C-alpha cells in the first residue's frame, strides 16, 4: 500500500497513494480524507486564466485589461 | 525521563523524594519544605520569596493594574513554549493591555501527584526565565499537590501587579469612529502549535507558538504621545473574538481588510487542512491597538522597532454602526461578517 | 500554496464577474450541488459579485446534512455500548439525532473518536482487538473509495473486530429528483468537482440530454466557481445543454478507474432515504454481499428509517434549493450553530452554517450592509 509524504504548504502529512499509482515526487495531488484522488494536471491548471484572456477580461500580466 | 531511582544527579532533591511529585510534597511538612527550598525558590531567586513569609511587602507609586489568570494548557510542553512561559507572559500581557508596566507576579502551582519532578523543574525554570525576560519579579506563590487524576499534570495560576503609565484611560469605552485598528503581527501560530503537539492530527510542522511578553512594545506605544484608545491581547478565540468583544462593548462597528492581516503560509496551510479559520485560532504573543487615525502610521513605526511586533500593520478602521458588527472585506472584494467561534474549537489551549 | 492561491486572485475574479454580466441577457437560476462550493460562494461573497439576475441556489451536496437521523441514532447507540468504539469524521459529531448528538454521547462516556481518514479507524481496531470498532461511513462518491479501502484492508487483514455503518449517497439520482420536482426552478447546474474526480463526467450526459439542462463540472476555489457560472450562463444564452468540464486540472471524463473499481467491489447501489428530501431510488451505496459481514447493521441491528418529525426546521427545503437560509424564521434566532434545529446549521458544508458564519445572524434594526 503506497503512502507518500505530502506537503500542504509547509505542513507535511502522510497520505495514501493507492488511487494514484502514477504519482511521482514533485507532483501535486488532490487529497481527501487521507487519500490522494488525482494528480493535478499542471498543463490544464492554467486553463482558468487562458479562458479569461480569450474572452478579453484579463491582461497578460494577470491584471485587469 | 529521569535517571534510575535513588540517583538523579540533575535533580537537587535528595534520594527518597523519588522521581515524581508525591502528595507529601504538598503536605506542608518537610517534603514540601524540601521542594520549595531545593527546586522552586532557587529558580525564582527573589529576595521577597526568600523571606519565606506569608505574603510580599511591596511599594507601588500611583495607580495600579491588577490581573489574574489560570493556565491549564494541554500538553504542558509544546513547540515554542510551555505552561510556565505561557503563565508568565499571559499575565504580563494582560497588565500591558491595561497600559501598565508589569512589576510583580505571584505563582500558584497545583501539581498532580505523579508528575515527574524533572517536568516540574523544567516548568519552574521556564517561569523564571520568562519573568526575567519580561522584567518582572516573582514575589510570592503557593504550591499544592492533588491526587492523581485531578490536575492533568499541572495547573498554574499567576496574578500580576503593574503601575499604570498610560496618560489617559485605555479601554473599549474610549474607542471612537475613525480610529485605526493596528495588529502587532501574524496570527494563528499558538493554536496550531498546541494542536500539532497533541499528536492526534498526524501532521509534521515547524510551527511554534508565538508566546512572548508584549510589555516593551506596548509601553513604547503608550509613552510615545500617541493617542491609544484601547489595547487587547489575542488569546483563545483569536483575532475574531478580540474584535467582536471590543465592538460589542464599545457599541461600534469594526471593518477589517483580509489582505492586510499577516498569516504565515504554513499556518494558513494547517488551518485549511484542519478546516479552521486563522481568525479564530489562538495566539499568545499578539495584540491589537486602537489608535487615533492620525497616529496610525506612527504607531506601526513605533511597534516595528520591537521583535515581538515586527510585522505590525494597520488592518482596519472603526465605524459608527451597526454597533457590535465586525466585517471583513475579502481579497475578492466582498465582505463577510466575523463572529466569535460557536462552541469549542479546541479545549485547553491556554 | 500552488494550485490554490492563484484561484483566489482578485483581478481574475473581477474579470469573470464582468464577463458574466456581459454574457447574461436575462435572469438565470443555477444550482451548485456541493456543500464545499456553497461555502466558497458564501465565504468569498461570490453571489455579491454576480449580476442581479443570476441566482445561485444551494443544492443537497452535504452528505452530513442528508444522513437520515436514524443513522445518527444508531451510531450513538453503538458508541454507548460497553466494549464498542465508534469512529467518525469530525463534522458528524454535532449532527442532531433524535436523542442528541455524538458529541453529547461522548461527554456522557460513550467511546466516540474523531478520525481524519477511514484508515485511522482501522488502526484503532488493530490496536484494540478487544473492542468492537465501528466506522461511520458517510459521504458522497468522493469519500466512497476511501471507505471502500478501509473495508478491503479489513478483509485482507482478517480483522474480526471492525465493521462499517454505511450511509453513502450518490449525486446523479439527487439531481434527477430535483429536476423531477414539480416546482423545480433550476435551469443549470454546477456539478461537484470532487465527486467527478472519482466518477468522471459521463453519467451526467444522459441527465443533460433528458432534462435539457447545462451541467458544468466545477471546482471549489473562487475562480473555479466564477468560471463555472460563466460557462453555464454561456450555454443557457446559446440554448445549449451539454456537460462541460471547468475543473480540467482534476477531472477527466472517465474519472479515477482504480477508485471506481474498488467501489464496485466493496459496495452495491441501493435505495436511500435523504434527510429532508425522502426516498430516492438507486441513490445510495451499501456493502456488497461479499462484504456483508463487515456491515455494522448485521452486528448491531438494522437501521429502520421512519418518517421525519415535523418541526420548525426547513433543512429539507434548503437542501432542495427551495429556500435560502435567511428566509427561515428561525435562522440566527432559535437556530444557531450552538443550538441547531437541523443539520444544515451544524455541518461545515451546510448552507445555513455557511450563511451564519460568513453573513452573520440577523441583528435588530440592521440596515443593508453588503459590500460596504
- Of A17-26, B200-209, B325-334, C12-21, the range with the lowest mean pLDDT is B200-209
Structural contact between residues B29 and B143, judged by C-beta atoms closer than 8 angstroms: no
Does C15 sit within 8 Å of A37, measured CB to CB? no
Res. B8: pLDDT tops 60: no
**Mean per-residue pLDDT for B324-333?**
89
Distances (CA, A) of A62 to A47, B250, C78: 13, 42, 54
Does B204 sit within 8 Å of A9, measured CB to CB? no
Under DSSP, is residue A36 helix (H, G, I), strand (E, B) or coil?
A: strand
- Domain membership of residue B7 (yes or no) is no
| Chain C neighbors of B202, CB-CB under 8 A | 116, 120
Q: Angle CA(C318)–CA(C319)–CA(C321) in degrees, nearest 5?
A: 65
Under DSSP, is residue C21 helix (H, G, I), strand (E, B) or coil?
A: helix
Domain span at residue B279 reads 172-338
Res. B30: pLDDT tops 50: yes
pLDDT at C311: 76
Structural contact between residues B284 and B239, judged by C-beta atoms closer than 8 angstroms: no
pLDDT class for B14, splitting at 50, 70, 90?
A: low
- Domain membership of residue B306 (yes or no) is yes
- What are the CB-based long-range contacts (under 8 Å, 24+) for C338-342? C338/B342, C338/B343, C340/C94, C340/C96, C341/C96, C341/C311, C341/C312, C341/C313, C341/C315, C342/C96, C342/C276, C342/C313, C342/C314, C342/C315
pLDDT at B13: 56
- Of A59-63, B16-20, B219-223, the range with the lowest mean pLDDT is A59-63
Distance of CA C67 to the CA centre of its chain: 10
- Domain membership of residue B91 (yes or no) is yes
pLDDT at B270: 87
pLDDT class for C366, splitting at 50, 70, 90?
A: very low
pLDDT class for C372, splitting at 50, 70, 90?
A: very low
Whether C145 has its CB under 8 Å from any CB of chain A: the answer is yes
Give pLDDT tens digits for B123-143.
999 999 999 999 999 999 999
C-alpha cell at C328: 427561515
pLDDT class for B321, splitting at 50, 70, 90?
A: confident
Does C357 sit within 8 Å of B339, measured CB to CB? yes
pLDDT at C141: 95
Give the domain-ending residue among B148, B164, B180: B164
Distance of CA C296 to the CA centre of its chain: 22
C-alpha cell at C85: 468504539
Does C11 sit within 8 Å of A62, measured CB to CB? yes
Give pLDDT tens digits for C247-295.
999 999 999 999 999 999 999 999 988 877 788 899 999 999 999 999 9
C-alpha count within 13 angstroms, C-beta hemisphere, residue C236: 24
- Domain membership of residue B138 (yes or no) is yes
Under DSSP, is residue B132 helix (H, G, I), strand (E, B) or coil?
A: helix
pLDDT at A57: 78
C-alpha cell at C159: 480483522
Domain span at residue A34 reads 3-40
- pTM, two decimal places: 0.82
C-alpha cell at C232: 453555464
Cα gap C114→C314, rounded to integer Å: 28
Give pLDDT tens digits for B32-80.
888 888 888 888 888 888 888 888 999 888 999 999 999 999 899 999 9
Q: Pseudo-torsion of CA C359, C365, C370, C372, nearest 10°? A: -120
Q: What is the 3-state secondary structure (H, E, C) of chain C?
A: CCCCHHHHCHHHHHHHHHHHHHHCCCCEEEEEEEHHHHHHHHHHCHHHHCCCCEEEEEEEECHHHHCCHHHHHHHHHHHHCCCEEEEECHHHCCCCECCECHHHHHHCCCCEEECCCHHHHHHHHHHCCCCEEEEEEEECCCCHHHHHHHHHHHHHCCCCCEEEEEEEECHHHHHHHHHHCCCCCCCEEEEEHHHHHHHCCHHHHHHHHHHCCCEEEECCCHHHHHHHHHHHHHHHHHCCCCEEECCCCCCCCCCCHHHHHHHHHHEEEEEEEECCCEEEEEEEEEECHHHHHHEHHHHHCCCCCCCCCCCCCCHHHHHCCCCCHHHCCCECCCECCCCCCCHHHHCCCCHHHHHHHHHCCCCCCCCCCCCC
Res. B216: pLDDT tops 70: yes
C-alpha count within 13 angstroms, C-beta hemisphere, residue B185: 25
Of B204, B268, B272, the CB nearest to A12: B204
Give the domain-ending residue among B127, B143, B164: B164
Res. B345: pLDDT tops 80: no
Does B270 sit within 8 Å of A11, measured CB to CB? yes
Return the percentage of chain B with pLDDT > 90, whole number.
Answer: 64
Under DSSP, is residue B288 helix (H, G, I), strand (E, B) or coil?
A: strand
Kindly report the number of other CB atoms within 10 A of residue B259's CB atom: 10
Give the domain-ending residue among B164, B186, B206: B164
How many independent structural domains does chain B possess? 2
Q: DSSP for C241-256? A: --EEES-TTT--TT--
CATH number at residue B132: 3.30.1330.10
| Chain C neighbors of B324, CB-CB under 8 A | 363
pLDDT at C307: 65
pLDDT at C370: 39
In terms of domains, do B55 and B117 share one?
yes
Give pLDDT tens digits for C11-36.
889 999 999 999 999 999 999 988 88
Does C44 sit within 8 Å of B332, measured CB to CB? yes
C-alpha cell at B174: 474610549
- Tell me how long chain A is: 65
Cα gap B192→B276, rounded to integer Å: 10
pLDDT class for B230, splitting at 50, 70, 90?
A: very high
Q: What is the DSSP letter of C219?
A: -
Cα gap C312→C329, rounded to integer Å: 8
Query: Higher-confidence residue: C54 or B149?
Result: C54
pLDDT at B200: 61
pLDDT at C206: 98
Of C45, C91, C348, the CB nearest to B332: C45
CATH number of C14-309: 3.40.50.11740
- Domain membership of residue B228 (yes or no) is yes
Whether B275 has its CB under 8 Å from any CB of chain A: the answer is no
In terms of domains, do B186 and B316 share one?
yes
Cα gap B133→B3, rounded to integer Å: 31
Does A13 sit within 8 Å of B203, measured CB to CB? yes
Of B202, B204, B266, the CB nearest to A9: B266
Structural contact between residues C76 and C102, judged by C-beta atoms closer than 8 angstroms: yes
pLDDT at B6: 42
Whether A4 has its CB under 8 Å from any CB of chain C: the answer is no
How many independent structural domains does chain A possess? 1
- The ranges assigned to domains in chain C are 14-309, 315-359
pLDDT at B11: 47
pLDDT at B349: 58
| Chain A neighbors of B273, CB-CB under 8 A | 8, 11, 13
Residue whose C-alpha is closest to residue B348's, from B239, B236, B200? B236
C-alpha cell at B168: 489617559
pLDDT at C169: 92
Sort B283 into a burial class: Cβ within 10 Å, 0-12 / 13-18 / 19+. Answer: buried
Res. B255: pLDDT tops 90: yes
- Domain membership of residue B279 (yes or no) is yes
Host H or E run for residue B163: strand B154-164
ipTM here: 0.90
Q: What is the DSSP letter of B232?
A: E
**Mean per-residue pLDDT for C110-130?**
93
- Domain membership of residue A16 (yes or no) is yes
Q: How far is B264 from chain A (nearest CA, A)?
A: 10
pLDDT at B317: 98
Cα gap B309→C53, rounded to integer Å: 47
| Chain B neighbors of A10, CB-CB under 8 A | 205-207, 264-266, 269-270
Strands (E) located in B260-348: 287-291, 313-319, 326-329, 335-338
Structural contact between residues B299 and B291, judged by C-beta atoms closer than 8 angstroms: yes
In terms of domains, do B223 and B153 share one?
no
Q: List, as ranges, residues 1-60 from A with C-beta within 8 Å of B.
A: 8-14
Is the peptide bond between B75 and the residue preceding it cis, with omega within 30 degrees of 0? yes
Residue whose C-alpha is closest to residue B226's, from B312, B163, B308? B312
**Mean per-residue pLDDT for B188-199?**
86
- Domain membership of residue A65 (yes or no) is no
- Tell me how long chain B is: 350
Does A9 sit within 8 Å of C1, measured CB to CB? yes
pLDDT class for B343, splitting at 50, 70, 90?
A: low
Mean pLDDT, chain C, as a whole number? 89
- Domain membership of residue B13 (yes or no) is no
pLDDT at B3: 36
Q: What is the DSSP letter of B82?
A: E
Structural contact between residues B283 and B235, judged by C-beta atoms closer than 8 angstroms: yes
- Domain membership of residue A19 (yes or no) is yes
Return the percentage of chain B with pLDDT > 70, whole number.
Answer: 91
Give pLDDT tens digits for B258-314.
999 999 989 998 888 777 889 999 999 999 999 999 999 999 999 999 999 999 999
Distances (CA, A) of C359 to B323, B337, C326, C355: 15, 5, 10, 5
Res. B9: pLDDT tops 50: no
pLDDT at B226: 94
Res. C317: pLDDT tops 90: no
In terms of domains, do B152 and B178 share one?
no
C-alpha count within 13 angstroms, C-beta hemisphere, residue C233: 26
Cα-Cα end-to-end distance for chain A: 49
C-alpha cell at A1: 500500500
Bridge-based pairing of strands C132-139 and C162-169 is: parallel
pLDDT at B5: 43
Res. B253: pLDDT tops 70: yes
- Of B173-187, C52-66, C110-124, the range with the lowest mean pLDDT is C52-66
Q: What is the DSSP letter of A60?
A: T
Structural contact between residues C283 and C174, judged by C-beta atoms closer than 8 angstroms: yes
Q: DSSP for C146-195? A: HHHHHHHHHHHTT-SSEEEEEEEE-HHHHHHHHHHSTT----EEEEEHHH
Whether C197 has its CB under 8 Å from any CB of chain A: the answer is yes
User: What sign for the dihedral angle of Cα B253, B257, B258, B261?
Assistant: negative
Kindly report the number of other CB atoms within 10 A of residue C109's CB atom: 10
- Domain membership of residue B3 (yes or no) is no
pLDDT at A45: 85
Whether A63 has its CB under 8 Å from any CB of chain C: the answer is yes
Res. B7: pLDDT tops 60: no
Amino acid at each position: 500500500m503506497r503512502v507518500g509524504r505530502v506537503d500542504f504548504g509547509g505542513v507535511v502529512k502522510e497520505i495514501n497513494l493507492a488511487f494514484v499509482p502514477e504519482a511521482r515526487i514533485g507532483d501535486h495531488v488532490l487529497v481527501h480524507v487521507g487519500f490522494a484522488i488525482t494528480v493535478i494536471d499542471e498543463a490544464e491548471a492554467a486553463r482558468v486564466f487562458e479562458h479569461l484572456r480569450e474572452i478579453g477580461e484579463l491582461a497578460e500580466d494577470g491584471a485587469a485589461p | 525521563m529521569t535517571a534510575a531511582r535513588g540517583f538523579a544527579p540533575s535533580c537537587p532533591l535528595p534520594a527518597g523524594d523519588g522521581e515524581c511529585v508525591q502528595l507529601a510534597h504538598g503536605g506542608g511538612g518537610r517534603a514540601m519544605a524540601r521542594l520549595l527550598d531545593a527546586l522552586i525558590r532557587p529558580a525564582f531567586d527573589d529576595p521577597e520569596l526568600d523571606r519565606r513569609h506569608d505574603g510580599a511587602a511591596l511599594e507601588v507609586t500611583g495607580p495600579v493594574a491588577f490581573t489574574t489568570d489560570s493556565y491549564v494548557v494541554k500538553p504542558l510542553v509544546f513547540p515554542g513554549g510551555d505552561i510556565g512561559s505561557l503563565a508568565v507572559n499571559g499575565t504580563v500581557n494582560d497588565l500591558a493591555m491595561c497600559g501598565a508596566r508589569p512589576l510583580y507576579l505571584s505563582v500558584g502551582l497545583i501539581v498532580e501527584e505523579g508528575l515527574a519532578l524533572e517536568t516540574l523543574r523544567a516548568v519552574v525554570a521556564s517561569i523564571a526565565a520568562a519573568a526575567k525576560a519580561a522584567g518582572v519579579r516573582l514575589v510570592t506563590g503557593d504550591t499544592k499537590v492533588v491526587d492523581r487524576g485531578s490536575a492533568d499534570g499541572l495547573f498554574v495560576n499567576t496574578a500580576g501587579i503593574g503601575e499604570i503609565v498610560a496618560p489617559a484611560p485605555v479601554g473599549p469605552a474610549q474607542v471612537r469612529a475613525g480610529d485605526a485598528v493596528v495588529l502587532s503581527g501574524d496570527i494563528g501560530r499558538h493554536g496550531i502549535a498546541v494542536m500539532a503537539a497533541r499528536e492526534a492530527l498526524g501532521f509534521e510542522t515547524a510551527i511554534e507558538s508565538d508566546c512572548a511578553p508584549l510589555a516593551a512594545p506596548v509601553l513604547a506605544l503608550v509613552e510615545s504621545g500617541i493617542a491609544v484608545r484601547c489595547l487587547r491581547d489575542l488569546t483563545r478565540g483569536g483575532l475574531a473574538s478580540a474584535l467582536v468583544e471590543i465592538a460589542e462593548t464599545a457599541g461600534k462597528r469594526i471593518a477589517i481588510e483580509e489582505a492586510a492581516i499577516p498569516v504565515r503560509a504554513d499556518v494558513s496551510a494547517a488551518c485549511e487542512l484542519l478546516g479552521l479559520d486563522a481568525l479564530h485560532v489562538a495566539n499568545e504573543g499578539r495584540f491589537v491597538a486602537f489608535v487615533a487615525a492620525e497616529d496610525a502610521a506612527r504607531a506601526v513605526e513605533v511597534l516595528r522597532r520591537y521583535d515581538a511586533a515586527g510585522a505590525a500593520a494597520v488592518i482596519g478602521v472603526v465605524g459608527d454602526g451597526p454597533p457590535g458588527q465586525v466585517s471583513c472585506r475579502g481579497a475578492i472584494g466582498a465582505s463577510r461578517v466575523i463572529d466569535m467561534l460557536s462552541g469549542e474549537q479546541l479545549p485547553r489551549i491556554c | 500554496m500552488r494550485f490554490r492561491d492563484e484561484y483566489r486572485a482578485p483581478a481574475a475574479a473581477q474579470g469573470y464577474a464582468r464577463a458574466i454580466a456581459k454574457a447574461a441577457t436575462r435572469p438565470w437560476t443555477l444550482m451548485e450541488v456541493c456543500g464545499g462550493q456553497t461555502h466558497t460562494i458564501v465565504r468569498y461573497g461570490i453571489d455579491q459579485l454576480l449580476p442581479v439576475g443570476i441566482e445561485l441556489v444551494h443544492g443537497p451536496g452535504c452528505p452530513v446534512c442528508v444522513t437520515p437521523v436514524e443513522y445518527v441514532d444508531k451510531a450513538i447507540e453503538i458508541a454507548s455500548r460497553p466494549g464498542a468504539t465508534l469512529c467518525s469524521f469530525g463534522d458528524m459529531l454535532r449532527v442532531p439525532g433524535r436523542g442528541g448528538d455524538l458529541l453529547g454521547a461522548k461527554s456522557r462516556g460513550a467511546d466516540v473518536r474523531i478520525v481524519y481518514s477511514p484508515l485511522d479507524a482501522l488502526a484503532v481496531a488493530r490496536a484494540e482487538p478487544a473492542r468492537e470498532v465501528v466506522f461511520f461511513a458517510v459521504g458522497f462518491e468522493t469519500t466512497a473509495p476511501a471507505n471502500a479501502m478501509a473495508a478491503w484492508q479489513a478483509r485482507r487483514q482478517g480483522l474480526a473486530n471492525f465493521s462499517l455503518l454505511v450511509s453513502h449517497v450518490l449525486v446523479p439520482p439527487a439531481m434527477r429528483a430535483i429536476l423531477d420536482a414539480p416546482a423545480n426552478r433550476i435551469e443549470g447546474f454546477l456539478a461537484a468537482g470532487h465527486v467527478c474526480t472519482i466518477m468522471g463526467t459521463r453519467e451526467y450526459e444522459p441527465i443533460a440530454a433528458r432534462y435539457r439542462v447545462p451541467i458544468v463540472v466545477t471546482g471549489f476555489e473562487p475562480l473555479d466557481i466564477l468560471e463555472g457560472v460563466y460557462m453555464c450562463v454561456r450555454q443557457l444564452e446559446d440554448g445549449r445543454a451539454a456537460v462541460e468540464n471547468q475543473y480540467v486540472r482534476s477531472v477527466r471524463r472517465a474519472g479515477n478507474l482504480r477508485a471506481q473499481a474498488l467501489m464496485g467491489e466493496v459496495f452495491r447501489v441501493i435505495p436511500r432515504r435523504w434527510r429532508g428530501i425522502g426516498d430516492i431510488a438507486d441513490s445510495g451505496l451499501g456493502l456488497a454481499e461479499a462484504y456483508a459481514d463487515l456491515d455494522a447493521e448485521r452486528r448491531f441491528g438494522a437501521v429502520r428509517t421512519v418518517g421525519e418529525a415535523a418541526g420548525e426546521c426547513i433543512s429539507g427545503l434548503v437542501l432542495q434549493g427551495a429556500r435560502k437560509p435567511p428566509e427561515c424564521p428561525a435562522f440566527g434566532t432559535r437556530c444557531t450553530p450552538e443550538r441547531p434545529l437541523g443539520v444544515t446549521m451544524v455541518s461545515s458544508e451546510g448552507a445555513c452554517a455557511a450563511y451564519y458564519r460568513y453573513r452573520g445572524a440577523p441583528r435588530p434594526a440592521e440596515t443593508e450592509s453588503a459590500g460596504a
